[in-house]
Copies of this chain bind each other. A is one copy, B any other.
Amino acid sequence: MIGPGDDAAVVRPTGRPLVLTTDALVEDVHFRSGWCDPAEIGARAALVNLSDLAAMAARPTEALLAVTAPPDVPAHQLESMIDGCAAALARYGAALVGGNLSAGPVLTLTLTLIGELDGPPLRRDTARAGDRLLVSGTLGDAGAALSFLLRDRPPPTALLERWRAPTPRLELAQALARAQVRAGLDLSDGLASDARQLCRASGVGARIRVAALPLSEALRSAVASDAERLRFATGGGEDYELLIAVAPELVATIEEIGRAAGCPVCEIGEIVAGADVALIGADGAALAAAAGFDHFHPRVGQ
């Protein structure tokens, strides 16, 4: 109804529940400028925020972008960044309706996304003991790419793209919510940490089978060590895949929904009573934290 240029944007109401989320990308904390061009930074801000809406099974509608930038960042770079953000949002149906530009010591993009619920939300506090735990796509690719970048080595393209332009699982999440998935969230910090979040919110524990974790061919060929692969898959973070808890009788339906959406969803474990989140090796015993299930997350900053 009123777009950028006035004191605030005005948008038409639809009568559906609103979903609201905000997230910041900070230079030298979340990325380094040499790793992506301005348009890619803008797009990444959109994609990681869209994943939070996917994690609620929401459909994105509008966004606001607040940028702080040092005075020496050229205007055309800021424009590329904003254009890259707007283009990525548009691909998923959201309009950039406003924002703010301010001076600051490092480039920071704070995106706020507004979405709507067409069906039930995907909550994180509703998993139950006996549910199966499933994950979409593959794990560890983005974390492995980041470990290359941090060592100033070029990552294999397939891994780099998983870090640079993650795919928010928006349509898949909506289909899963319609199919009455019990609970879910998106994997931003890494499977270990995020599984604990899901379990803490729901008051349950989990057992996750190492051998069941879906790994990409790109990860298998780029990382030779089993232990390293496990570290990336459980702690690498920034996969932006969905982790969901599902009643056992629904697993086959959910797997079929994944196939239909072109994004495999596979079973990796189960929800149990208690509060422990354990990683189970091939021999059926829980792995020690040192074997890869501690909170490991590569840090961009110092």
Contact = CB atoms under 8 A, between A and B. Distances in A.
A68 interface: yes
A12 B209 CA distance: 39
Given A64-B112, A112-B64, A112-B112, A8 B24 contact: no
Interface stretch (A13-21, A34-42, A251-259, A277-285): A13-21
A66 interface: yes
Contacts of A18: 10-13, 18, 114
B24 A56 contact: no
A143 interface: no
B10 A103 contact: no
A5 interface: yes
A26 interface: yes
Interface in A29-77: 29-30, 52-53, 55-56, 58, 62, 64-66, 68
A6 B64 contact: no
Given A20-B97, A22-B98, A26-B103, A7 B112 contact: no
A301 interface: yes
Interface stretch (A82-90, A118-126, A226-234): A118-126
A135 B8 CA distance: 20
B102 A105 contact: no
